[in-house]
Structures are given as structure tokens and as C-alpha cells.
Amino acid sequence: MSFKNVRGPHNPVRTTMPLAAYRVMGFGAVPVDEREWQPRIDAVRTVLAALTDGDMPAASPELLDAFSVVKGLFSRIALGDTGDWYSVSRLLGYPSAALSMAASWRMAWTRAAIREQDGDVFRIAASRLEDDHCLEMLGNYLEMTIEKSYPLVEHGWAYILWSSTERDLMHVGAAAGTVEDVLKRLDREHPDHAAFGVLSAWLVHDPLEAYVGIHERLSPAALGDGFFRLDLGQAKTAVETLLRETENVSHSPWHGDQKLAEPVRHTTADGADFLIK
């Protein structure tokens, strides 16, 4: 059996501003392409059924393709590299970038276990997905897309927002309301700008603490009114480090203070040793 080619997201995390102009819908908040709408629903439904059943499913091209598609959904959120990444995050219930990175890897491990029909690896990877509430996230996706239920409304966010009108500026901060509330306010206050979108967002426990800490750490790059001029990678690192140090981040609405499930080292029957992330 071979697990040497198991891979998480194929691209690096976005650390530069998008090149395209996002005039009507801001980056990250672009609606899901209608050509991808039904295939994604079908893939989520297939993967959720396979994970809920509990037993090792038989391998088939359709099932393996479905896991690839769902892995790609989590990869979008982890990397923040596509115009619809925040729209996808909303459908999945706002998993954090760190959780989405882990989920992408675990979807890849589960897919490989099904392909190789390795029950031990399947149980380990699938249990990590369950421990981190990924089944609830897939269920939320189906509720919002099929049943047209209202999205989860989560208050308390840290964020990096951006309009393609001024490519070298970012709006960075935290608020007690929703990210959508802040986007609407920025669009209203800057009617001459292209629509504001989302470069990064973190669900936080204490938005005021996050707001104060962010502005203290980024003060050398501050331009006023919450706008900053600095490298996106530096801004992401600064905010993520602050939230991690102050334990002021929640990985999903289902997590609360729960930490992410730890990777597991596993030795296969033929003696190969792997770290299942």
C-alpha cells in the first residue's frame, strides 16, 4: 500500500494582493460559480454519507472524485486564494484557516485510505474529521444549499478586508458584529471604491481585545480609520500570532474553546510510518 503521494492543499497560502479587479463583488465574497453549484452539492452529499456510515466504503471513481472536490473546498478556505473562498466558508459554517488546512489534509488521507482499502488509516483520518466537527460543516453546507436555510450568524470577528481600487491598502481590525456588517459599512462609506472583500477572517471570543491588540501591533503601518499599508503576509502573520498568543480564536461555531485534533503517527502493515495530519 502506498500513501507517499497524499497531499494537502496544492498551492501556498495567499500572501499577496489579488491581481484582478473585483468591482461589484469583493474578493472572497464572489458567489459560487453556477457551473460548480450542483457538482459541489453532490460531492458534499457523497462524502458526508461515506463518513457517516462508519464502515470502510468500497472504492469507486465517483467516490474518490467527491473526496477531491470536498478537499478542494477546505483548501480554498485554508489558502484564501480564490474569489469565492469566503462564500464557501460561509456555506461550511466558517471553519478557521487552520482547521480548513487540517480538514484538507484529512480528506486527502481518507481518500487515500479508501483507494488503498486500508481500514486503519480510514478510521484514524475519519475520526479526526469527526472530532473537529467537519461532519457538522458538511451538513451545514447541504442545509444552506439544498434546504435554503439561513446561514449561521456568528458575531465577533477579526479581519483583513480590501478593495481592488487601492491595491496596497487593507482595512484590518475586529468587530463585535459580522464581517458582512463591516463590508456593508465600508462600501457605504467609500462609494467611489470597488466593492470591499475579505482577504482573511478569524472568529474570535473577544473582539475588543483583538481590536486593541491588532492596532497596537500594526501601528507603524497605520493610515487612519482602520486602514494600513503593509504586506499581506505580514498582516496575516501578525494577526494570527496575536490571536494564538492570547487564545482569542475559535476554529468554528461548534468548537468554542476546543483545540484542533492532533495529528497521529501510524505504521502500516507493511512497515511504512506516516504522520496523519
User: pLDDT over 90 for what percent of the chain?
Assistant: 84
Three-state DSSP class for 264?
Answer: strand
269 has pLDDT over 90: no
Question: What's the pLDDT at 1?
Answer: 54
53 pLDDT band, cuts 50/70/90, is confident
45 has pLDDT over 70: yes
Neighbour-count burial for 247-270, b at 16+ CB within 10 Å, e otherwise = ebbbbbbbbeeeebbebeebeeee
Question: What's the pLDDT at 149?
Answer: 75
User: Residues 92-98: what's their mean pLDDT?
Assistant: 96
Question: What's the pLDDT at 118?
Answer: 93
Asked whether 28 and 159 are in contact (CB, 8 A), the reply is no
Domain limits of the chain? 34-150, 157-245
What's the pLDDT tens digit per position in 182-206? 999 999 999 999 999 999 999 999 9
Average pLDDT, the chain: 94
CA 36 vs. chain centroid, Å, equals 18
122 has pLDDT over 60: yes
What's the pLDDT tens digit per position in 201-247? 999 999 999 999 999 999 999 999 999 999 999 999 999 999 999 99
**CA pair distance 188, 186, nearest whole angstrom:** 5
74 has pLDDT over 80: yes
Q: Of 73, 14, 15, which Cα lies nearest the Cα of 39?
A: 73
The distance in angstroms from the start CA to the end CA of the chain is 18
277 has pLDDT over 80: yes
